[in-house]
Amino acid sequence: MTQPAGVHAETYDQDQALIKTRPQWTWFWVLMIFLAVLPLFSGGKIIGMMNVIWITLIAVVGLQINVGYAGQINLGQSAFMGVGAYAAGALTFHWNVPIWLTIPFAGVAAALFGAIFGVAAVRVKGFYLALTTIAAQYVFQFVMLKLPRNWFGQIHGLRLDPVSIFGIELNTDVKMYYLFAVIGTLMIYGAWGLVRSRTGRALVAVRDNDNAADIIGIDVFYYKALSFFIGAFYAGVAGALWGYYVRYIQSDMFTMILSVWYLGMLIVGGMGSLLGAIIGTVVIRLLQEFITYFGPWVAELDMFSGVGGQIIFASMNMLLGGVIILFVIFEPRGLVHRWNIIKESYRIWPFPH
């Protein structure tokens, strides 16, 4: 390693840099090149899986800011995604607004909806805050089903045509992949800058002890509401991208179980770490793809005759739920903690500590 010990930064900007060493820059560009050329040598199924991972990752990174950094439990992330999906979808469906305007608008619409429930976070904590965010889920579905049909389609939802950006029609998975990759990378970079800033440190202080944070002058009300605002903004952007990807938006697509899986991804990856959000999202999504791929083969066995579909659905929930439980018991700090141990062991080798 080029920096075995000591403080090597000569300026504040150098100290705050995300990438500091030459090997880190090398691996960064290797990753960027790999992601850029991935569609060129991958099949449609892999590209489709990557598109889902990018969308999920944006939502989970927002949830990490809300839950992992600010310590505010949130079981309504899926509802915030739904608000963003409907906001962007309605603008496109009714007025054909370009997506470079609808996607930010979707984020803001979801953020305002999330901030309403963020205000409640000032007065309640833990279990009661979880109930408050669950209410967001049911409020969202109730409102979408009761508004006039010519607005959001009620139970019929909204069907969208392929969208375009800067004259390029996004009518294939490969084109959508590059859109998602660019937006996802920018959102992750923005989150990384946020958590390393004064705002990020204030969120962590509120998470660790909101009473102590209040005593030292941190506006607890503001930062709790802000965490919901930011987390919901990310969810809204993810919801808009999901709507454009599947070209259909319906309230039943955004259920509470989806919010629970997002929390599970944070548990597996590691709370309070953006890298943990990335790892958890990829691991859980790959497990889901594994079950989906081998599920039909299992369903064809004689012992599961007549109940094959139920077996696939049940096995996915049981396996993923079991994985999350194992992490809660044996590795509560997630895979990112294990990665940090391995990385530190390599850095100081051959010394034991």
* pLDDT above 70: percentage of residues in the chain: 89
* pLDDT above 90: percentage of residues in the chain: 53
Please count the CA atoms within 13 angstroms of the CA of 129 that sit on its side-chain side. Answer: 19
Structural contact between residues 222 and 276, judged by C-beta atoms closer than 8 angstroms: no
Predicted local confidence at residue 306, as pLDDT:
57
Predicted local confidence at residue 298, as pLDDT:
63
Q: What's the average model confidence in pLDDT over 58-64?
A: 97
∠ CA 294-299-304, rounded to 5° = 145
Instruction: State yes or no: pLDDT of 17 exceeds 80.
Output: no
pLDDT band at 34, cuts 50/70/90? very high
Predicted local confidence at residue 348, as pLDDT:
74
pLDDT band at 4, cuts 50/70/90? low
Residue 313 backbone phi and psi in degrees, to 5: -65, -45
Predicted local confidence at residue 166, as pLDDT:
84
| Strand-strand pairing, 168-169 and 158-159 | unpaired
Q: What's the average model confidence in pLDDT over 341-353?
A: 76
Q: What is the Cα 245 distance to its own chain's centre? A: 16
Structural contact between residues 53 and 176, judged by C-beta atoms closer than 8 angstroms: no
pLDDT one-digit tens code per residue, 130-172? 888 898 888 898 888 888 777 887 777 788 888 888 888 888 9
Top pLDDT among 123 and 108 is at 108
Specify the range with the lowest mean pLDDT, choosing from 11-25, 92-106, 291-305, 337-351.
291-305
Instruction: State yes or no: pLDDT of 248 exceeds 70.
Output: yes
How far, in Å, CA of 352 to CA of 24, rounded?
Answer: 24
Q: What is the Cα 149 distance to its own chain's centre? A: 30
Q: What is the mean pLDDT of the chain?
A: 87
Instruction: Give 184's strand partners.
Output: none
pLDDT band at 11, cuts 50/70/90? confident
Domain ranges in the chain?
42-254, 272-353
Gap between the terminal Cα atoms of the chain: 16
Specify the range with the lowest mean pLDDT, choosing from 38-52, 115-129, 245-259, 266-280.
115-129
Predicted local confidence at residue 143, as pLDDT:
86
Specify the range with the lowest mean pLDDT, choosing from 140-149, 205-214, 238-247.
140-149
Q: What's the average model confidence in pLDDT over 64-77?
A: 93
How far, in Å, CA of 74 to CA of 60, rounded?
Answer: 11
What pTM value is reported for the model?
A: 0.91
Cis peptide before 332 (omega within 30 of 0): no
How far, in Å, CA of 67 to CA of 62, rounded?
Answer: 9
How far, in Å, CA of 25 to CA of 37, rounded?
Answer: 18
Predicted local confidence at residue 1, as pLDDT:
47
| Strand-strand pairing, 168-169 and 164-165 | antiparallel
Instruction: State yes or no: pLDDT of 174 exceeds 60.
Output: yes
Structural contact between residues 132 and 123, judged by C-beta atoms closer than 8 angstroms: no
pLDDT one-digit tens code per residue, 183-208? 999 999 999 999 999 999 999 999 99
